[in-house]
């Protein structure tokens, strides 16, 4: 990964910017949302991405310490994903590069969701992932 960052430095113009945009690992909560309220019913097990995230952090640290990039801006924000069913959410989580699962279980979340959706058809599942956007200037 360090080699890829060095290649990025090579092709960027002086003063160019490298963007590091990625989700942060941290077991985001699963919520049943709708009608102006939300209830947390579980979380996403995203620990499978820990290794890649740590490797990216280490590579960025290596190139910034070497002096080829300078960290300019660091921001964190949330991006919400919505699903109409537990099956739809589970399919999405299973399709990711690092497969994710539902904690404590898919059945647990389905029980809460099915009970709640009977009272309001506008209810959806929501998961808010924390993301980072860091900008590094080419020196």
Q: Report pLDDT for 119.
A: 80
Tens of pLDDT, residue by residue over 52-91, are: 999 999 999 999 999 999 988 999 999 999 999 999 999 9
Q: Quick check: helix, strand or coil at residue 91? A: helix
Residue 110's CB: how many other CB atoms inside 10 A?
A: 19
Residue 92: which residues within 8 A CB-CB, separation 6 or more?
Answer: 81, 83
Number of domains in the chain: 1
Domain span at residue 15?
Answer: 2-138
Q: Report pLDDT for 77.
A: 97
CA distances to 25, 44, 90, 110 from 18, rounded to whole Å, are 21, 29, 33, 41
CA distance 68 to 96: 32
pTM for the full model?
Answer: 0.83
- Say whether pLDDT at 121 is over 80: no
């Amino acid at each position: 990964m360090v080699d890829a960052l060095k290649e990025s430095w090579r092709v960027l113009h002086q003063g160019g910017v490298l963007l590091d945009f990625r989700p942060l690992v941290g077991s985001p909560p699963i919520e049943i949302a709708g009608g102006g309220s939300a209830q947390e019913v579980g979380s996403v097990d995203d620990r499978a991405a820990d290794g890649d995230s740590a490797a990216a952090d280490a590579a960025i640290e290596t190139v910034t310490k070497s002096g080829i990039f300078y960290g300019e801006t660091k921001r964190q924000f949330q991006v919400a994903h919505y699903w109409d069913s537990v099956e739809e959410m589970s399919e999405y989580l299973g399709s990711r590069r690092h497969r994710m699962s539902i904690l404590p279980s898919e059945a647990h979340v389905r029980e809460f969701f099915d009970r709640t959706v009977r009272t309001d058809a506008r209810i959806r599942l929501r998961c808010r992932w924390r993301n980072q956007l860091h900008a590094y200037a080419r020196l």
